[in-house]
Structure 1
């Protein structure tokens, strides 16, 4: 049988096995696990060391583990007392033989030792302290074969078992049932009473005996690991003694073991205890002097561990300080010790390696939070705290700068992405400083910004830092989130911001030609548009910048597309400052107002192409230019004649392109995508025209009336394309404010064509579109006539879509839920805008009863309180309509 098990395990683990045979082997292995005597066969197989492979012996222990777990959980066929005794004697005999110092066999591989430790730990949970009270004595005796704690093999196994025991009974990261927690508590209490003092003494002896030995590295490292884990739940006084801590601190001088010693000290300090006891512990360790003597910086990994230690200590000291009821002497002593340790934390914060810096982020964050609380308590910022705060801010500012070895890739490089993530966290520290000391924040950041904008600064990293900090300053001022002064900030803060913005716009930093500088510059211009209300003379200069190769004509695609949006935002925000410069601006961007659709490679050109299949990235950005153009030519300063001329300059090429596309034989996806883009451009341009502020003239309306008819021709030709239907609905919605009731005849044609082709998913947007029309044209005879013709076919489509089973599909269920909400919103809009007469018309009265029943059904079956409330209101009002029929 053992040979069969070995063969099955090897087949199951082999990547070259025939799949069918491999499955058979795995089934056989599972049968062994589930069989009543499988554990006996596998225990024998494991003990027969010399003849079996490590993989087979590992599997054998897994089977034994399964049997032990079943006994622990009280499930399945359980081991009886005789079987447990047999397992105990077999394992104990094995380790006494194989882990004795005189053993001539090769020691088990590390993974096998860990597995054996796990198996022994499971047995420990079943037997300690009742049936195996001498558990620790037996293992310590094994470790002392040949002399007190001198057996390396036995010690390694003992320490691995202790690690496994902690994971099973005390690891707080593992979720356990209440029953298992009670069992573990009983075991831990027994260990504390019966064996803990002896174990703690043995650990200290191991450290003393093995630290100086060449072959003692792993033993000491594992011993420190055990101390660091067990200390969380044992009596801390067993470890925190002058002799014990002197030994552990002494190991900090051992290059190979100092990292493990540092981790252990961190775990010791993390032990939960009363504030007074915690302070005594930290004071006893004399960490400021100890840390000051460590070779920080020469070993990156060790430096990171020391940073973690400093973070742990500072966090504890800050929490002690933050207690309300704290004796004055303890408060003063804690403050003094914290002031000694925080410079180390700030030093790690400044470390060139972000992993090291990040280790002290919690302590820095907690300290800044503490200082903000102190400010709210009306406690002044002491000179010592102000000094630390200044040091934190200066360090953060330096860390915010791009490293000399790093280039700007706009997120295309992983190392830059990591830096930007850290930068975001550092920015929060900077904002926190602003909430503690506004003057410090303002003075420090303005100094960085002004210095970075000096002509002699040519390194893009210095300039980028300055512009980044200018953005941070303006964000804090605008959002009133970082600064304590509400509203738009204090007069001094606003004055400093304006000074920095004026310095930026008068500088020549753009001449460096770096894309990150250009992006920051444009972002800052848009974010601080109010600045130009008091400096309108700078606006032409900014426009020249935007339309140059710095902005919308940048050779960096990512910068260019972002610039299109920022240009639009600047035009929208500063439209009243534009003056009569529309023609100049339009001529400058005219080469970009060109539509050339590209079908994504993934699209196969089928007729049901959706809007999601468009080349949306670049095209969506280009739409901002059309909207900006509409705003530019519709500001008050543009004469009517020039507005019409410029308007035709934009829309005439689009009309010609649509005509050209439609005159060609149907070409599938590319043709449809080009028409889609043309229609979207018209709609977006119309939104800009409406947003410019200038009164709409009849010649302008005439141009958009022509546009509406051109769209209808396109829709008639390509009505089977979802993207054409979506674009047409979009464009008409944007032209409604321009054309008013004049567009109603065209809308009637649009609606009838959309309804005949729209899919179930489009019904949601379609009803929302109709709701907008109802609101805009309430009281108009045209909208009543259109609704009278449309209502029955529309509601029939809605009821049909909702009658189709979702077939268990989550997406379909969500879609049906959204259709119900859209339907109820549509009915509410109809009633709120005085259009209930449409429901009682000769054409629609036959569907009114179905409407009432549907509203009642959807209301009663919905779990959404808002839907129930709205549905009830609609139902009552529909009943009133029924009564007057």
Structure 2
């Protein structure tokens, strides 16, 4: 072997040696016989270096995996001998190989087995077993190999679809030939090593668990095996793996009667052995495994009961249900256990048991007691513990949140089984806690409110929506809500309680429609130190959002208006750290807007209120904009630009309050927003921090186009002029949707402006696209691709908006230049999204200008350039018909040909038959066929035909190697 190259296998080797090692690896992999030196090195144990051994196994693995069929019979025999000789060496070594080498060896053994077992090496297992006997090193490799075979052939978590038939054949052959022998070997290993080598015993238990799903269960589920497993349950090092093994046995698919017998016999033995005494067990890791086992047994019994009920086997079903009920005391012990992992592992059985109860026509007293016990357990387990870190939530906290979601599922199921019992239980807990909230622990108060919150989703609508206002029918929910908002618990000093209070108030906002007398107290809680001025930023942030939701629901908050608008400035910077982040302040301004717009005041009053809300923003904006160019520090510039962007964002957010029923005009606020535009637009010409300023003003313009209608139009020309100066690809890409929005909304109203701005915009795009970029600059390439798409979308908007004159009045040379870029986009760029848009544009232009009274010279252009584009595009090697977007492009391409035929008629058919198709060396028969399809009235016929022909790209319709029509040079070079 190349000793120099092997030096590069060391993780600490320098790059040169590592590169050489990689090259050597590729050489050995690809060679017909060079890999044999690796086989020899493994068989003779030539190298002691672990990395070299691993390397040799990797080379061998590649041969077996990818080249096995091409190896000669001698070479295949060499691999078998190598593996057996290497295994023999392991039996004689005093020290085993490192685990990573043993794992790799097991993978190679497993791969060889998969390739050769049925045909070339039927005695695979017998050869290995006779060699290793009960030698611990050999047994270790044997067990690892069995797990590797499971991964290759059986493991349901690994996708095996291409090899399903092969794997089925392997399993069938193993069942016929060797499974009893393997099971016997497992029993011998478990018996021999349970005291001396616990790690081997655990490995063997894992193997049994993996294989039991597809072998004859009687080989495992018998007295000697189960007794052995139960003895392992009492050994500290083995008990967890023994639990997992029993779980796999219980999980095996079986006839429901047999499954019930198996589970019941196993339960009996476990109970007799004292395993059901959960309180006395201190090992939580074991209990988590045991809980999973009990969960498996319980779910298996429920499944058996379901199958028996469906089959109409009433007597056996009743016995099975009795068996399920007998496990409920154990279920409850595990569900209520203080360790959440133990509790979480039994939730599945608990959920399924409740589902059984839901299906019963009538519940016994014991079943009702079980339901109540589960409710109490869920309520207890929902409670936070002392260690929960609310300020810095980590992995443990995330796990508890997930666990709470599981408990919520149980609560929802409890509500389906017995809504009355659940409502009464929650009411009892809630009322007791609220009576003593001042002295109660935070977690007790939080969970009491949380339960009230969860009822909203858990209970049927008839309960959840029962805020009827009829005192004779006052619901439990209404009582609890009244208690919540009047008992003073909103002042509890803990973030979890504060958050739960506001979440619940907003969930049950309909309560305040029935009992509006509570609104002032709740609003005070929202606005003072309990809510928006809370000491915790987390609470303030969430409350800002919840408050906006609350206000939108309850439109009768008119009296709040003035005080809220006056106090909104408290939440802004004003030289101090802001109480709310800028994102949270957005909700505040939206809320203020909603209050103003939906108020019952006359339009003049609404205008005055909106002005009082927005004037401070405009004043601050002008002041900061004047300071910005004078700042020399980039960090300070960025901070000022941030403040300016936020001011624009806040003003923009207030406009979300308007609707079709309450427009800006109807509310008398047009002038206020026009003033905002005049205040904000100068930022477009600011020489520093152009990116963020342009972005925020552009977003504001988008909103104003929607809200101000034609009142916005006078501002557009100047804004456009500023935005087109010194722009980058991203600026243009973001500007085009604005122009497209104006075009689509105002159409002919903006035609003169569009005619004026069209070529400057197009030229700015060409200039940016033509800028050279480095070959490997993927970000720049993507920006250009997105800009190109935006450009084509812009042309499509113009072409589709019925404003023919916008492009028609640009002069012949400019029109030609633009249309050539569309041809180029349709053919030259491997971007199906852009290509599809280009063909849509070409169709539209043919429709507009391609008729008898169309644009002068355009029919010539159709024949010279548009028709060839329709044939050239599908020819490109990048035209990938497995891609959905490309198929849509092909469809648009067909449509373009169809529209040309509609506009030019027989002249087009004649052109194809006599000029164009013969120039492509297409046979007259095929040309005739295509022309007949083109003349069919249904365009679908043509689309299907072209797709079939494109799929057969080498057909005589379109020949790849013919000289096709000339396409003009790029109109924007350097792309």
TM superposition score category, shorter chain reference: 0.7 to 0.9
Change (3 A) 1:791 1:82: closer
Q: CA deviation at 1:354?
A: 3.0
Given that residues 597 and 670 in structure 1 are in contact (C-alpha distance below 8 angstroms), is that contact kept between their aligned partners in structure 2? no
Residue equivalent to 1:725: 694
Distance 1:56 1:266 in 2: 40
Q: CA deviation at 1:408?
A: 1.8
Q: Does 1:240 align with 2:227?
A: no
Q: Select which of 212, 231, 234 maps to 1:253.
A: 234
Residue equivalent to 1:13: 10
Distance 1:616 1:777 in 2: 42
Residue equivalent to 2:947: none
Change (3 A) 1:768 1:454: farther
Distance 2:804 2:121 in 1: 89
Residue equivalent to 1:622: 585
Residues 527-536 or 839-848, more deviating: 839-848
Q: Select which of 338, 362, 366 maps to 1:352.
A: 338
Q: Select which of 434, 456, 459 maps to 1:453.
A: 434
Matches within 5 A, 1:329-368: 329-367=315-353
Which consecutive unaligned segments of at least 5 residues does structure 1 have? 100-104, 477-481, 599-614
Q: Select which of 265, 273, 276 maps to 2:246.
A: 265
Secondary structure (helix, strand or coil) at the match of 2:311 reads coil
Q: CA deviation at 1:322?
A: 2.8
Q: Does 1:656 align with 2:634?
A: no
Q: Select which of 407, 415, 419 maps to 1:434.
A: 415
Matches within 5 A, 1:382-781: 386-409=368-391, 412-456=393-437, 457-475=439-457, 483=460, 488=465, 495-579=475-559, 581-594=560-573, 618-634=581-597, 636=599, 646-664=609-627, 665-667=629-631, 668-688=637-657, 701-717=670-686, 721-735=690-704, 741-754=710-723, 761=730, 766=735, 768-769=737-738
Q: Select which of 293, 302, 306 maps to 2:275.
A: 293
Residue equivalent to 1:171: 155
Distance 1:172 1:634 in 2: 59
Secondary structure (helix, strand or coil) at the match of 2:581 reads helix
Distance 1:521 1:651 in 2: 32
Distance 2:30 2:161 in 1: 25
Distance 2:567 2:661 in 1: 19
Given that residues 8 and 20 in structure 2 are in contact (C-alpha distance below 8 angstroms), is that contact kept between their aligned partners in structure 1? no
CA deviations on 1:278-305 (whole Å, 9 max, x unpaired) are: 2332233235735863564421221121
Residue equivalent to 1:312: 296
Change (3 A) 1:107 1:880: closer
CA deviations on 1:97-152 (whole Å, 9 max, x unpaired) are: 627xxxxx4455555555555555555556657666655455555565xxxx6x55
Distance 2:477 2:798 in 1: 48
Q: CA deviation at 1:506?
A: 0.3
Q: CA deviation at 1:402?
A: 0.8
Distance 1:686 1:89 in 2: 78
Which consecutive unaligned segments of at least 5 residues does structure 2 have? 632-636, 856-975
Q: CA deviation at 1:687?
A: 4.6
Residue equivalent to 1:200: 183
Distance 1:205 1:90 in 2: 24
Secondary structure (helix, strand or coil) at the match of 1:12 reads coil
Given that residues 466 and 475 in structure 2 are in contact (C-alpha distance below 8 angstroms), is that contact kept between their aligned partners in structure 1? no
Change (3 A) 1:883 1:34: closer
How many residue pairs end up in the alignment?
832
Given that residues 852 and 878 in structure 1 are in contact (C-alpha distance below 8 angstroms), is that contact kept between their aligned partners in structure 2? no
Residues 692-701 or 335-344, more deviating: 692-701
Given that residues 859 and 871 in structure 1 are in contact (C-alpha distance below 8 angstroms), is that contact kept between their aligned partners in structure 2? no
Residue equivalent to 1:601: none
Q: Does 1:23 align with 2:19?
A: yes
Change (3 A) 1:525 1:761: farther
Q: CA deviation at 1:209?
A: 4.6
Residues 759-768 or 308-317, more deviating: 759-768
TM-score normalised over the length of structure 1:
0.79
Change (3 A) 1:24 1:443: same
